[in-house]
Amino acid sequence: MTRRIIKLVISAALWACSEIWQAFRRFFGRPVPGTCVVLYYHVVRPEERERFARQMDILLALAQPISIENPPELTPGVNYAVVTFDDGFRETIEIVLPELKRRNIPITVFLPTGCLGAEPPWISDRSSHHYGGGILAEDEIRKIDAEPLVSFGSHCVTHRSLPTLSDDEARDEIFRPKTDLEKILGHEVESLSFPHGAFKQRHVDWAREAGYRRVYSIEPLPAFLCSDEFVAGRFRVDSTDWRMEFQLKVLGSYRWLSLLKRGRLNA
């Protein structure tokens, strides 16, 4: 709890500094750059539906929701936000989809194709908050894909951490799900999110070779800042986030955590 509060305070301070900086730019007639954050959820439980709905209302008040499919050039002064879900838990998608459709908010679901229609093998504790029930099956994916606000992406095959695998295994985890999903959906799949946010440069290179248009990490960094961006960051959100936590994440104020993470990796 203490660590969570510290993160909140630092993020609020960063937001305040950003507001001052933007005010100075406007005062001197200089444009404020547009921003975009990609949010990622895992699980929303039935009892959390109202909280999720309130979060989507907050998102609409603070940002313009867009899809990761063909994101627009960022308009100066506009905050954009993207909603994604990792893993494709059936119960979660059934809960959130009506709320997103009601608000016309696009969603991308990243699927581990080797687990479709099955229980998630990477979660052993079924009482864990990370457990969201079974994963969507092929027929459910086809039906949901008909919704204009929904798109699907690859979350590899088995949800294993790519750096722990051999090169042959990792390549298969990257290449195969794109082909499998395209057979299921009947159209191209352009996006991949790395399981556990774990990857090396060779995995990025293989994803590019496989034909993905963009891949997603879990490093909290703004997205779509340039047209040739291939690796995009994402901000983790949960339906249990405090209101101010969620607001600051939508505004990108938790981006300082990426510097902390990089510092630890370089230590």
CATH number, domain containing residue 187 = 3.20.20.370
pLDDT of residue 93: 96
**pLDDT tens per residue across span 145-159:** 999 999 999 999 999
The DSSP output letter for 6 is: H
Q: How far apart are CA 140 and CA 234, in angstroms?
A: 26
Instruction: Please give the tally of structural domains in the chain.
Output: 1
**pLDDT at residue 126 tops 90:** no
Q: Which domain holds residue 186?
A: 2-266
**pLDDT at residue 111 tops 60:** yes
Q: Read off the pLDDT band of 96 (50, 70, 90).
A: very high
Type of residue numbered 65: P
User: Between 45 and 267, whose confidence is greater?
Assistant: 45
pLDDT of residue 157: 97
Grouping H, G, I as helix, E, B as strand and the rest as coil, residue 235 is strand
What is the pLDDT of the chain when averaged over all its residues?
Answer: 93
Q: How many CA atoms lie less than 13 Å away from 241 in the CB half-sphere?
A: 27
CA 64 to chain centre: 16
Q: Read off the pLDDT band of 267 (50, 70, 90).
A: very low
Grouping H, G, I as helix, E, B as strand and the rest as coil, residue 156 is coil
Q: How far apart are CA 157 and CA 56, in angstroms?
A: 30
**pLDDT at residue 124 tops 80:** no
The DSSP output letter for 127 is: T
**pLDDT tens per residue across span 188-221:** 999 999 999 999 999 999 999 999 999 999 999 9
CA 177 to chain centre: 18
Residue 6 sits at φ, ψ, to 5 deg, of -60, -45
pTM of the entire predicted model: 0.93
CA distances from 196 to 32, 79, 163 (A): 33, 27, 10
Mean pLDDT of 165-188: 98
Mean pLDDT of 13-19: 95
**For the chain, what percent of residues have pLDDT higher than 90?**
84
